[in-house]
Structure 1
Amino acid sequence: MARLRRTPPDDLAHDARALYEKITAGPRGRFMVDPDGGLAGPFNAMLLSPPVGDPLQELGAAVRYRSSLSDRARELAVLVVAGHENSAFERQAHEPIARELGFTGDQLKALRDGEPLALDDPAERAVLAVTRALVARKDLDDAEYAALGERELFELTTLVGYYTTLALQLRVFRV
């Protein structure tokens, strides 16, 4: 059972309402609003503290829409984190995106369960290996570090940290 009530937008304080408007106006907004107008998923909790919630959602937008990682690499990494953290919400939100990008049901199951996964693209194989190392050990050996460019590695470690944070919040607030 959810611990956090979804607040309709008309009941929000001014700063929370401004953040609500920012989230719902962006590309994620159409997916995150319930029938009563409340925010679903991790975004509802962000309204509790707009000074912290706004930069957090901005980080998420940067990771999702402005990084150099390919769409497939990004979704691959998100689903590795979701599987490792057992985050049903993130799986539910990102598996359809991954399907649209060509991931098969068997590949999604492997990501969900942490099973071996054969990928044709060498860059995707590197993202998979590095992300699995990051969630398992919270560090990389020299070969894993060298598998990606430094920009991609920075963006990937940021993505892993962001989605791990969301998984924690989703778990604590029982979303």
Structure 2
Amino acid sequence: MARLRRTPPHDLDPAAGELYEKITTGPRGRFMVDPAGGLTGPFNAMLLSPAVGDPLQELGAAVRYRSSLGDRARELAILVVAAHQDSAFEQAAHEQIARGLGFTDEQLRALRDGAPLSLPDAGEAAVLAVTRALVTKGDLDDDEYALLGERELFELTTLVGYYTTLALQLRVFRV
């Protein structure tokens, strides 16, 4: 059962209202709004502290919409984090996106289960290997470090940290 009440926009204080507008009019659109107008997923908790929630959602927008990681590589990494963190919300939301990017049910199952997955694209295979190392070991050996460029590594480690944070918040607030 959810621990955090979804607050309709008319009940928000001005700072939370500004953040609500930023989230719902941004690239995520109204995807994260329930029928009563409350935010779903991790965004509802961000309204508790707009001073922290706004930079957090901005980081998420940068990771999702402004990084050099391709769409498939990004969703692949998010799904590895979601599976490792056992985050049903992240899993469901991002499996839907991944399907739209051409991931098969078999590939999604392998990501969910942490099973071996052979990917024909070398860049995606590298992202998979590096992300799995990051979530299981919290570090990379020299061979894993060499699989991606430093910019990609920076963006990927940021993505892993961001989605790990969301998974923790989703779990604590029982979203």
Normalising by structure 1, we get a TM-score of 0.99
Instruction: Specify the alignment match of 1:26 in structure 2.
Output: 26
Inter-partner Cα distance in structure 1 for 2:151 and 2:30: 30
Inter-partner Cα distance in structure 2 for 1:137 and 1:96: 28
Within 5 A, what are the aligned runs for 1:51-90? Answer: 51-90=51-90
Inter-partner Cα distance in structure 2 for 1:120 and 1:162: 27
Inter-partner Cα distance in structure 2 for 1:28 and 1:107: 25
Between Structure 1 and Structure 2, how many residues are aligned? 175
Q: Which amino acid aligns with 1:55?
A: P
After the TM superposition, which segments of 4 or more aligned residues of structure 1 sit over 6 Å from their partners? Answer: none
The answer for unaligned runs of 5 or more in structure 1 is none
CA-CA distance at 1:52 after TM superposition: 0.1
Instruction: Specify the alignment match of 1:106 in structure 2.
Output: 106
CA-CA distance at 1:31 after TM superposition: 1.0
Within 5 A, what are the aligned runs for 1:100-139? Answer: 100-139=100-139
Instruction: Specify the alignment match of 1:38 in structure 2.
Output: 38
Question: Which whole-Å deviations, capped at 9, do the CAs of 1:66-94 have from their partners, x for residues lacking one?
Answer: 00000000000000000000000001110
Question: Which whole-Å deviations, capped at 9, do the CAs of 1:3-30 have from their partners, x for residues lacking one?
Answer: 0000000000000000000000012132
The DSSP-based 3-state class of the residue aligned with 1:32 is coil
Normalising by structure 2, we get a TM-score of 0.99
Inter-partner Cα distance in structure 1 for 2:84 and 2:143: 22
Instruction: Specify the alignment match of 1:146 in structure 2.
Output: 146
Inter-partner Cα distance in structure 2 for 1:30 and 1:130: 33
Q: Which amino acid aligns with 2:17?
A: R
Inter-partner Cα distance in structure 2 for 1:168 and 1:107: 25
The DSSP-based 3-state class of the residue aligned with 1:29 is coil
